């Protein structure tokens, strides 16, 4: 049992292999957060809630009057839900504007249930249990007696993985409508502010850069208001103890399973307590709940590690590989692909594509992916999005003919779509100008010359499903790249009534999820790859439907290092779309070494690269197959991080049973000093490992403690190398 309820002390204790999370129900029904951290056996945590005695300006609630000196004021106590407007003055996690027009909110414990397994969330992506025994769930029902709002806190514990999820259900059990103004998926008041906040910021071509800053008093955090999780900030934050690093210290990781406007906040109060919360961004959000209706929040994932950021990342990776990626492609080997985008752009015809496909086959690749430009009259990005009908001037004989010729070569076939977009210069826009996101009497801002389809509308979603099905149902298609190339502006829908316009953003993403769900159910064999101008929607919401996501349009190997290191804080290699391209810097060796830390593939026109480079590529294929499991499902160790060292980057994948590993070093900038010892991590000290490239044998103890001298290996700008080791069974 990983969830325990001590009915005498009224304590819930949620345990995983390496963490404990403790909640107490106090005599007034408040849900108090007592502890989250390394596993503890105790259920007795006396005075843990009393983080500060009475402060004269901090109000108490009437039932606690006279209880000041025992330390009671909702302004300082640690809560599981931060209610608005009733004596807790910190940033609220729950704010409901009731039928009387005020937003005072105060929920108290009513009942709870504990059960095996994990529930899904209607309409939203969520982690899942493979077997009931993987997880245990606690639901705590709370109620606001004044307004009749019933709020259920849902906690699921992944016992073996030091991970848990949290979400909320708000139900209207009253006779009148009310409006949810703020509903964060989780809230937790930690008893210290001695942490650094880590986040992943970026932009197009430079996604998920590592940022670290000490917490300080006041509100800090990251958010998106862009209508997607966005390039600008990933819906991920971590808190790490001040001196902590890759290997050492407590690290808490928080990730939201959501692909739209989010907010992640840490509010440090005068009492040095840190309120951490994450959820739908309350800016520009409101949701009216009629009597009897329910609202489900997206879920947040919480990971605890006492082995620094590295331990945190490895838990996320295992969790997502096992409990986020669904369907056929969860465990099936992903095909090694070539995509024509960087090679041809939209300047192609069937012959050009077939030439790339023929090269791919001859080189040993397994799938050809046709990117943007195959439909409508699209020769550039000014038109045709939404007209998902093949351009027969480019693909003579139609799409079926191209696919059968690619298949005849013995390759799989993939296709590009950007379903949520519509070009003003398209037949569908001319027929339905109100199908795009817009507000009355205001110009429609364009991004990349395009508008956004109004995914809140069922007729739009039906249109998209049907027109995509014309292609998907009638052709043998194996893979679909789902792109999204602009932010949302003038957010509104022609069909939503005035009072529901505030629901637009959330309804938009529910619409996208619904379409993704329909497509994945109708075409279960299809492998989806998420994309958004590179990695602008790299989040667990999209990854639930599309098990891999294009990391960035920046395919330069040296720039990619920063992007891939940042991405790896939360997301496993199996999800990082990474390709070798003809980009300007570095050898094909380095391009390969970097792209191997990901789904791997090629993104080029072989006609435009030299014969020598084509010959090198041919030698790279076997390694992909040989190390596929090690990279996709092994444990990642970031050995030298770009945020610590501007000269070199190094990382390793170690198999779960520690019988095999591979490490890669990339020299970003030449350094005169050749004295360079690299210490491995995560090996078995008692095993001996043989290097496949040199035949040398070393103990795990030596490799981890003394390190390996890399004196003889490449050291020039942009050079790199990878070495593979296996447990030595015969040599001593």
Least distance (Å) between residue 166 CB and ligand DGJ: 32
Q: Binding ligand DGJ by CB under 6 A: which of 341, 359, 368, 413?
A: 341
Tell me: does residue 372 bind ligand DGJ (CB under 6 A): yes
> What is the rounded CA–CA span in Å between residue 539 and residue 534?
13
Of the candidate spans 21-29, 124-132, 148-156, 528-536, the one that interacts with ligand DGJ by CB under 6 A turns out to be 528-536
Distance CA 519, CA 477 (A): 13
DSSP-assigned letter for residue 86? S
Instruction: Reply yes or no on whether 372 is catalytic.
Output: no
User: Is 539 a residue that touches ligand DGJ (CB under 6 A)?
Assistant: no
Give min distance, CB of 643 to ligand DGJ, in A. 25
Structure tokens at 272: 């040095």
Q: Between residues 162 and 485, which has the closer beta carbon with respect to ligand DGJ?
A: 485
- C-alpha dihedral, 302 to 303 to 306 to 310, nearest 10°: -140
Applying CB under 6 A, does 88 fall inside the site for ligand DGJ? no
Tell me the residue number closest to ligand DGJ, measured at CB: 372
**324: helix, strand or coil:** coil
SS3 of 96-123: the string is EECCCCCCCCCCEEEEEEEEECCCCECC
- With CB under 6 A as the contact rule, which of the stretches 317-325, 530-538, 605-613, 635-643 interacts with ligand DGJ? 530-538
Which is closer to ligand DGJ, CB of 186 or CB of 416? 416
3 state DSSP class of 404: helix
Torsion of CA 662, 668, 673, 677, to 10 degrees: -20
Q: Residues 21, 348, 374, 550: which binds ligand DGJ (CB under 6 A)?
A: 550
Contact window for ligand DGJ (CB under 6 A) among 77-85, 130-138, 393-401, 527-535: 527-535
Q: Which of 553, 562, 605, 635 is catalytic?
A: 553
Do 362 and 606 contact (CB within 8 A), yes or no?
no
Of 544 and 550, nearer to ligand DGJ (C-beta) is 550
Please identify, using beta-carbon distances, which residue of 533 and 541 lies nearer to ligand DGJ: 533
553 has catalytic annotation:
yes
By CB under 6 A, is residue 310 in contact with ligand DGJ? no
| Residues between 184 and 213 with contacts to ligand DGJ, criterion CB under 6 A | none
Pairing type for strands 412-417 and 479-482 reads parallel
Is residue 416 at the binding interface for ligand DGJ, with CB under 6 A as the rule?
Answer: yes
**Closest CB 164 distance from ligand DGJ, rounded Å:** 33
Between 260 and 415, whose beta carbon lies closer to ligand DGJ?
415
**Distances in Å between the alpha carbon of 469 and those of 464, 473, 519?**
8, 5, 8
Q: Which is nearer to ligand DGJ, 491 or 531 (CB)?
A: 531
Binding mask 466-505 for ligand DGJ (x = CB under 6 A): -----------------x-x--------------------
User: Minimum distance between the CB of residue 534 and ligand DGJ, rounded to whole angstroms?
Assistant: 5
Tell me how many degrees the CA angle 90-91-92 measures, rounded to the nearest 5. Answer: 105
Distance CA 151, CA 109 (A): 9
Q: Which two tokens stand for residue 41?
A: 């056996």
- # residues near ligand DGJ by CB under 6 A: 11
Q: Is 74 in the site for ligand DGJ (CB under 6 A)?
A: no
Q: Which residues contact 272 (CB under 8 A, 6 or more apart)?
A: 192, 193
Please tell me the distance from the alpha carbon of residue 193 to that of residue 689, in angstroms, as a whole number. 43
CB of 204 vs ligand DGJ, minimal distance in Å? 9
Question: Closest CB to ligand DGJ among 49 and 553?
Answer: 553
For strand 720-727 and strand 287-289, is the pairing parallel, antiparallel, or unpaired?
A: unpaired
Q: What is the 3-state secondary structure (H, E, C) of 246-312?
A: CCCECEEEEEECCCCCEEEEEEECCCCCEEEEEEECCCCCCEEECCCCEEECCCEEEEEECEHHHHH
**Positions marked active-site:** 483, 553
Residues that bind ligand DGJ (CB under 6 A): 341, 371-372, 416, 483, 485, 531, 533-534, 550, 553
């Amino acid at each position: 049992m990983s969830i325990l309820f001590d009915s005498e002390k009224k304590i819930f204790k949620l345990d995983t292999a390496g963490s404990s999370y403790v909640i107490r129900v106090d005599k007034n029904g408040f849900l108090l957060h007592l502890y989250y951290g390394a596993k503890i056996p105790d259920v007795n945590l006396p005075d843990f809630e009393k983080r500060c005695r009475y402060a004269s300006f901090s109000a108490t609630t009437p039932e606690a009057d006279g209880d000041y000196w025992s330390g009671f004021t909702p302004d300082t106590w640690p809560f599981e839900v931060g209610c608005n407007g009733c004596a807790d003055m910190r940033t609220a996690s729950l704010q409901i504007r009731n039928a009387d027009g005020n937003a005072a909110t105060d929920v108290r414990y009513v009942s709870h249930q504990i059960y095996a397994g994990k529930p899904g969330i209607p309409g939203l992506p969520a982690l899942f249990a493979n077997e009931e025994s993987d997880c245990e769930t606690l639901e705590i029902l709370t109620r606001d007696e004044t307004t009749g709002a019933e709020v259920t806190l849902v906690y699921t514990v992944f016992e073996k993985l030091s991970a848990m999820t949290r979400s909320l259900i708000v139900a209207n059990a009253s006779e009148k409508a009310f409006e949810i103004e703020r509903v964060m998926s989780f809230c937790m008041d930690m008893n210290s502010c001695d942490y650094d906040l880590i986040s992943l910021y970026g932009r197009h071509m430079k996604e998920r850069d590592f940022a670290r800053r000490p917490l300080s008093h006041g509100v800090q955090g990251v958010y998106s208001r862009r209508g997607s999780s966005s390039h600008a900030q990933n819906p991920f934050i971590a808190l790490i103890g001040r001196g902590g690093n890759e290997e050492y210290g407590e690290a808490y990781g928080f990730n939201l399973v959501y692909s739209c406007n989010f907010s992640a906040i840490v509010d440090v109060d005068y009492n040095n307590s840190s309120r951490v919360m994450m959820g739908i961004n309350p800016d520009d959000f409101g949701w009216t709940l009629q009597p009897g209706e329910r609202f489900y929040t997206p879920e947040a994932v919480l990971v605890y590690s006492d082995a620094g950021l590295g331990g945190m990342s490895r838990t996320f990776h295992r969790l997502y590989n096992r409990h986020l990626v669904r369907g056929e492609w969860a465990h099936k080997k992903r095909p090694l692909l070539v995509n024509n985008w960087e090679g041809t752009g939209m300047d192609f015809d069937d012959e050009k594509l077939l030439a790339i496909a023929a090269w791919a086959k001859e080189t040993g690749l397994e799938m050809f992916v046709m990117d943007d430009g195959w439909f409508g009259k699209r020769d550039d990005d000014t038109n045709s999005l939404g007209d998902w009908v093949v351009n027969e001037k480019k693909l003579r004989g139609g799409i079926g003919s191209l696919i059968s010729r690619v298949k005849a070569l013995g390759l799989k076939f993939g296709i590009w779509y950007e379903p949520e977009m519509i070009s003003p210069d398209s037949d569908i826009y001319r027929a339905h100008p109100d199908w795009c996101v817009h507000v009355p009497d205001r110009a429609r801002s364009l991004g990349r010359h395009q508008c956004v389809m109004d995914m809140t509308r069922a007729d739009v979603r039906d249109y998209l499903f049907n027109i995509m099905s014309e292609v998907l149902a009638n052709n043998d298609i194996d893979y679909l790249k789902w792109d999204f190339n602009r932010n949302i502006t003038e957010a509104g829908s022609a069909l939503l009534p005035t009072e529901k316009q505030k629901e637009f953003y959330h309804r938009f993403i529910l619409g996208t999820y619904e379409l993704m769900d329909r497509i994945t159910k109708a075409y279960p064999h299809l492998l989806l790859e998420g994309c958004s101008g590179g990695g602008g929607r790299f989040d667990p919401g999209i990854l639930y439907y599309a098990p891999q996501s294009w990391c960035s349009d920046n395919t330069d190997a040296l720039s990619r290092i920063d992007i891939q290191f940042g991405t790896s804080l939360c997301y496993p290699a199996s999800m990082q779309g990474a390709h070798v391209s003809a980009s300007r810097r570095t050898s094909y060796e380095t391009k390969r070494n970097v792209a191997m830390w990901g789904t791997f593939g090629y993104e080029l026109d072989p006609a435009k690269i030299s014969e020598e480079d084509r010959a090198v590529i041919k030698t790279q294929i076997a390694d992909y197959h040989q190390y596929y499991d090690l990279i996709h499902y092994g444990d990642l160790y970031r050995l030298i991080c770009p945020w610590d060292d501007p000269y070199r980057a190094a990382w390793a994948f170690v198999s779960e049973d520690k019988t095999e590993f591979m490490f890669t070093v990339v020299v970003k900038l030449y350094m005169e000093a050749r004295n360079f010892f690299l210490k491995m991590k995560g090996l078995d000290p008692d095993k001996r490992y043989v290097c496949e490239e040199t035949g040398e044998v070393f103990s795990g103890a030596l490799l981890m403690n003394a390190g390996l001298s890399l004196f003889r290996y490449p050291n020039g700008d942009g050079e790199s190398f990878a070495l593979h080791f296996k447990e030595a069974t015969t040599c001593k």
